[in-house]
A and B are shown apart, each in its own frame.
Chain A
Amino acid sequence: MLRNLAFAALFVAAPALAKDLVVEAGPKAQERLQSALLDARPGDTVRIGAGRFELTDGLSLDVNGVTVRGAGPGSTVLSFKGQLGAGEGLLVTSDDVVLRDFAVEDSKGDGIKSKGADRIVYKNVRVEWTGGPKATNGAYGVYPVESEDVLIDGVTVIGASDAGIYVGQSSRIIVRNSVAKYNVAGIEIENSGYAEVHGNQVSHNTGGILVFDLPALPRRGAGRVAVWGNSVVDNDTPNFAPKGNIVASVPTGTGVLIMAQDMVQVGNNMLSGNGTANIMVVAYRQPFDDKGYDPIPHDIYISVNKHGRAGFAPAMPGGPLLAAAMGGAIPPILWDGTGGSEVRLVVNDNVPVLGLGLALGASLETARPAEVKLSGPIAAPLAPIALPPAMEAAAR
Chain B
Amino acid sequence: MKALFGAAALFAAALLGRPVGVNDAAITADGYPAHLSDYAFFTDLASRAPAQRLFRYDLETPLFSDYAEKERYLYLPAGTRARYDPDKALDLPIGAALIKTFGYRVDGAFKPLETRVLLHRAGGWTPIPYVWNAAGTDADIRRAGTRIPVTFTDPAGERHAISYAVPNQNQCKDCHGLAGQVTPIGIKARYLNHGGQLEKMLAAGMLDRLPVDAPRVARWDDHAAPLDGRARAWLEINCAHCHNPQGAASNSGLFLDLARTDPEQRGLFKRPTAAGRGAGTRDFDIVPGDPDASILLYRLQSTDPGIAMPELGRATVHKEGVALVRAWIAGMPKSGAKR
Contacts and interface: CB of A to CB of B under 8 A. Distances in A.
Contacts of A242: 276-281
A243 B170 contact: no
A30 B276 contact: no
Contact of A243 (B174, B274, B281): B281
Q: Of residues B146, B277, B280, B281, which shows the largest number of chain A Cβ atoms within 10 Å of its Cβ?
A: B277
B315 A244 contact: no
B248 interface: yes
B173 to A, nearest CB: 6
B276 A138 contact: yes
B276 A245 contact: yes
B315 A84 contact: yes
Interface string B285-307: 00000000001000000001110
Given A214-B273, A217-B253, A244-B295, A38 B305 contact: no
Given A84-B165, A140-B276, A243-B282, A216 B271 contact: yes
B274 A83 contact: no
Contacts of B265: 216
A86 B311 contact: yes
A385 interface: no
A161 B277 contact: yes
Contacts of B180: 116
A108 B306 contact: yes
Nearest to A37: B170
Please report whether the interface of chain A is mostly helix, strand, loop or mixed according to DSSP.
Answer: loop
Contacts of B284: 244
A286 interface: yes
A62 B315 contact: no
Interface string A24-46: 00000011101101100000000
Interface string A146-180: 10000000000000011000101100000000000
A75 interface: no
Interface in A215-262: 216-219, 241-246
A38 B274 contact: no
A243 B306 contact: no
B306 A139 contact: yes
Interface in B219-278: 245, 248, 250-251, 253, 264-265, 269-278
Contacts of B304: 108
B300 to A, nearest CB: 14
A137 B250 CA distance: 24
A268 interface: no
Interface in A44-62: 56-58, 60-62
Interface in A131-145: 135-140, 143, 145
A241 B272 CA distance: 13
B170 A139 contact: no
Contacts of B311: 85-87, 109
Given A31-B146, A139-B278, A244-B272, A146 B165 contact: no
Interface in B94-153: 143-147
Nearest to B298: A244
Interface residues of B, number: 48
Nearest to B245: A218
Interface in B154-187: 163, 165, 168-171, 173-174, 177, 180
Nearest to B278: A139
Nearest to A80: B305
A93 interface: yes
A110 interface: yes
B58 interface: no
B165 A218 contact: no
Contact of A168 (B251, B277, B295): B251
A38 B170 contact: yes
B49 to A, nearest CB: 31
A84 B305 contact: yes
A210 to B, nearest CB: 13
Interface string B45-69: 0000000000000000000000000
Nearest to A61: B170
A87 B306 contact: yes
Given A38-B170, A83-B305, A57 B279 contact: no
A388 interface: no
Nearest to B263: A289
A111 to B, nearest CB: 11
Given A34-B168, A218-B251, A243 B283 contact: yes
Contact of A62 (B146, B173, B273, B339): B173
B143 A216 contact: no
A118 to B, nearest CB: 11
Nearest to B171: A60
Contacts of B271: 214, 216, 244, 246, 286
B312 interface: yes
Given A108-B306, A168-B274, A86 B251 contact: no
B122 to A, nearest CB: 16
Contacts of B170: 37-38, 60-62, 91, 93
A161 B313 CA distance: 25
A109 B276 contact: yes
B143 A35 contact: yes
B144 to A, nearest CB: 4
15 contacts: A34-B144, A38-B143, A38-B168, A57-B145, A84-B163, A87-B306, A108-B306, A110-B276, A136-B277, A138-B276, A143-B274, A162-B276, A242-B277, A243-B283, A244-B283
Interface of A: 30-32, 34-35, 37-38, 56-58, 60-62, 83-87, 91, 93, 107-110, 115-116, 135-140, 143, 145-146, 161-162, 166, 168-169, 214, 216-219, 241-246, 286-287, 289-290
Given A108-B305, A139-B306, 6 more contacts: A56-B163, A110-B276, A115-B248, A145-B251, A161-B276, A218-B251
Interface of B: 143-147, 163, 165, 168-171, 173-174, 177, 180, 245, 248, 250-251, 253, 264-265, 269-284, 295, 304-306, 311-313, 315, 338-339
Ordered nearest first, which 10 A-B pairs have the shortest CB separation?
A139-B276, A244-B279, A34-B144, A60-B170, A87-B311, A108-B306, A108-B305, A243-B281, A109-B306, A35-B144
